[in-house]
């Protein structure tokens, strides 16, 4: 099991989801859900995760326009 901190920032025209501990692991989309999905595609590439890997997001907290999640990846 691996865990990562994920941040989602709401901007004027959409959302940016990122894993701050992994350089360039970020994605933008018009909705929060789409941004998280696109960020997961990048993370899977960076970590060489197998297709169909299991993961879940645990919403940790929110501050103004930022939501913090703990991402849990199960092997």
Give SS3 for 57. Answer: strand
Q: What is the pLDDT of residue 51?
A: 87
pTM (global) more than 0.85: yes
Q: What is the pLDDT of residues 2-38, one digit of tens each?
A: 999 999 999 999 999 999 999 999 999 999 999 999 9
- Cβ neighbours of residue 65 closer than 8 Å, sequence gap 6 or more: 9, 10, 11
The highest-level CATH class for domain 2-74 is alpha beta
Residue 30 to residue 70: CA distance in whole angstroms: 22
The alpha carbons of the chain give a radius of gyration, in whole angstroms, of: 12
CA distances from 11 to 15, 49, 55 (A): 6, 29, 26
Q: What is the pLDDT of residues 57-67, one digit of tens each?
A: 999 999 999 99
């Amino acid at each position: 099991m691996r865990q990562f901190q994920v941040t989602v920032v709401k901007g004027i025209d959409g959302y940016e989801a990122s894993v701050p501990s992994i350089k360039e692991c970020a994605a933008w989309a018009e909705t929060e859900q789409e941004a998280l999905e696109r960020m997961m595609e990048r993370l899977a590439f960076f970590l060489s995760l197998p297709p169909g890997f299991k993961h879940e997001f645990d919403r940790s907290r929110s501050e103004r326009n930022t939501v913090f999640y703990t991402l849990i990846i199960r092997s």
